Each structure stands twice: as C-alpha cells, then as structure tokens.
Chain A
Amino acid sequence: MSDTPVDTPPATAIPVDRPHPVRALGLLSGGLDSILATRLLTSQGIEVECVNFHTGFCIQSHTAAIRNPKPGAPPPRHDALHAAELLGVRLHLVDISQEYVRIVTNPKHGYGRNLNPCLDCKIFMVQKAWEMKERLGFHFLFTGEVVGERPMSQRRDTMPLIQREAGVGGWLLRPLSALTLPETEPEKRGWVDRQALQGITGRSRKPQMALARQFGITDYPSPAGGCCFLTDEGYSRRLQDLWDHRGGVKEYTLDDILLLKAGRHLRLHPGCKVIVGRDQGENNFLGGFKKGRLLLRAKGIPGPVALVEGEAAEELLELACRLVARFGKGRDAEQVTMEIESDQGRRTRQVTPLSAEEIPKTWYL
C-alpha cells in the first residue's frame, strides 16, 4: 500500500466551479477529532451536516448509566448529538447494527487486539456515508481521522486503503491531517482552503487540545476515550464465549450484544450461562430481557436479579439458583427461596447458597 492518489470515481453532476454553498458530510463520533474536523470546515463557510452510525457496540455514557448513578452525577448524554449541537450542525443518526453483523463476524482485514474490526468498520462507514452523500446532495465526505493515531485504521498505509475500498476516491478529506496527505478533490478544485487545514499526526492529543482552545471548544469527551466495546478485552471475551457456545457460529442478536454490557457473566456449563445484576440499575436492565429466558431472584431477601440463558435442565437450574442466592443477602442462610420466572409463569425453589469456594474462577467470563 502507498500514498499514491487513488482512483477517482465518476463525478456525480458536480460542477468544477465552486458550488455555492459547498456542502460536506462528516462522520461525527462526538470525540474531539471529529468535532475539530467539523469546525475546520464550518469556519471556512462550508455547509456541513454530520452522520453518526449506531453499530450496537458504541460506548456512550448511557452504558455506564445502566448501573446506579453516582449521587449528583448529571444524566448521561449522547456525545455526537451534543457535539452537533455545540457545532450548530444537523446530525443524521443512522442505525447500521443489522448490516454491521457481517463486519464483526467476518472482517476481511481481520481483528485488532480484541474483536475490533477497525479497518473493515471504517471502510463500511465511509461506504454508508458515501451513499448518503449521493442521496442527499453533498459534495464530499470528511472524517476526523489523524495519521498515526490508531494502530489499525489510522495508519499512513491503511488510510488510503479506506477510501480505495470504500470506492470514494479523492472525495474523502481528513482536515486534521490534510497537510500530510495527498490533495483531495475538493482541495484541488479550491472548494476547501488547504492552507487552513492541519497537518497533525501521531498519538499525542496535545495538538488537538491546543486547536480546541483556539476554537474555544472546552466541552468534549476525554480525548483518549475509546468509542467501541469491541476494543474492550472483557467484552470481546464474552462475545467470543457466546460464539464458542453456539456451535462456533459467529452470529448475534442486538439483545445478545446489549446483555454482554451488563452484569457478571458466569458460564456454569457449555450450554448454560447466568448473568447476575450488580446493583439495582443492572437488575432493572436485566429485567427487561426476561422474554425467552429464566429470571431468578431471591424471594423476601434483598439480592440480585439474574438471567439464565441456554439449557434449563433441573440440575443446572438448581446450580444457577444456588449461585444467585450466593450473591444476595441470604448468602449465609441455610435455605433461600428463589423465585424462577419464565414465559410460562413463576415458581419457587428452596436452595442452599453456594459457598465462595464452590464457585470456580473459570465460571467467570
């Protein structure tokens, strides 16, 4: 791979003369880079709208908010939405989670350190944005990518691959690193003032933070924060476990990947997993997923809610009840009455809570 200019797709009725207004569509995660990339273009008078894609794996503060909020903490917020408001641009929120399954399960360019298919993901998002650009009449695309910032999708050798495989040729501008990259079509045509763009490279966020100060932008998420659960080791381990115990078939539902975000996950048996809430917030959350699963809770004693996924043979159900009883206030009791709720109704079962020693570490995912 090289930095040689990539093939330019056929022009789509765009005049060579500067259109008025020049309209650009940007990928906005809500992080500092995409905020700055947008601001660099709006400050040139370019009419910008942005798109934020929902893959099902996006990390938002809402995910942490599944758990009990810290006293006095503000409600969580959607970063891209608030960035769009800060920037004064329209934001298209687009759900790509169904199509995204094939990106996660069969990435052409493989995974990163965990189950993160960053390169395929970026190519896919740029493709989807290109479709929107064509449909909504924008002149070019832009992203907040920075050369050398990320080990997989933001390398000098992989960035040209993104526009090539996405089929967008020279119509993808990276305003933060533009001065270090070949000129794009909007720059060549004078629609964008290249000299007003940046030449930032590398992992340090100091140049971006300095630029943010210059623009008076102070309200942005932690610059080093990740935006995807698939880069998280624990999350990826739980997802891999899910695939391993479905006959090695790499597939998932939206409920599957949501449930991987909450609770303690313990696999008692190849065909049986228990998800135990860690606080009232998670108990409420898990309660919303009881359809098609068993929901366990101690009766008359404070304790967690748990979901049982998979086989519910009596022996395993007994074990799951004893396990869940262990996590409640009745852990030292001789007997705990567990309520078992299924789609068919409720019943109870008397169990002796497991001791700490009876819970193998290997159960924890």
Chain B
Amino acid sequence: MVSLGETSPDEPSPPPRPHRQVDARNLLCPMPILRAEAAIAEMAPGEILALLATDPGLERDLPAWCRVNHHTLITIRRQGRELTGWVRKEKIGP
C-alpha cells in the first residue's frame, strides 16, 4: 500500500528496514531517481531501498519509476521538506 503524507504517531506500521539507503537530499530531479536506479541495479530482488530526497517531484516520479521498471513502491513519507521512499526491487528490473 502506498501512503503519502506527514509522518504521524498514527502511522499503522513503520516502514521496513532498508538494505540500502541513498541520500539524494538537495539534488534536483532526475538525480534522486538516477541515484536510486544506480543503487537498485546493485541490489538483489526482494531487497529494499530507502531513498531520501528534498525534490518535491519525488512524490510523482518515484511511483512512476517503480511502475515503469516493475519495482514495488512500499511507501513515501514526508517529514517537513524531506521525503523518503521505500522501494522493493522485484525480479523484473534493472
């Protein structure tokens, strides 16, 4: 399930612990997605990537990137200006 919004104490479940974290804060699109693509290429199917960014475009681009490349977007959460997206690499992908 994809959720998007301010993190609150009412969040039903914490995001999974990522196998790899990429810090793309202060980078403009498409750098956060390029960094994610480079990172996930080195990961095994089933592993989880956490992508940190401040580019507001991540809200639209990360779901689109996941759909185009058949990865699973677990959730995107916003904390102030920062967005974090959790993505699970699927077998069909880079």
The residues of A with any CB-CB pair to B shorter than 8 Å are: 52, 54, 58, 60-63, 65-66, 69, 74-78, 81-82, 84-85, 89-93, 95, 258, 261, 284-285, 287-289
Contacts and interface: CB of A to CB of B under 8 A. Distances in A.
A301 B43 CA distance: 48
B30 A65 contact: no
Given A62-B56, A76-B57, A258-B28, 10 more contacts: A52-B30, A54-B30, A61-B57, A65-B57, A77-B57, A78-B30, A81-B30, A82-B64, A91-B69, A95-B38
Contacts of B65: 81, 93
Contacts of B64: 77-78, 81-82, 84-85
Contacts of A85: 64, 67-68
Contacts of A60: 28-30, 57
Contacts of A289: 26
The A interface, classified by DSSP as helix, strand, loop or mixed, is mixed
A289 B59 CA distance: 23
Contact of B26 (A74, A76, A81, A285): A285
A78 B33 contact: yes
Contacts, number: 79
B68 A84 contact: yes
Size class of the B contact interface (CB-based, 8 Å) = 20 to 34
Contact of A65 (B37, B56, B68, B69): B56
Contact of A78 (B57, B69, B81): B57
Given A62-B29, A284-B54, A76 B34 contact: no
23 contacts: A54-B31, A54-B34, A60-B29, A60-B30, A60-B57, A62-B56, A75-B57, A75-B59, A75-B60, A76-B56, A77-B61, A77-B64, A78-B57, A78-B64, A84-B68, A90-B68, A92-B94, A93-B65, A258-B28, A285-B26, A288-B25, A288-B26, A288-B54
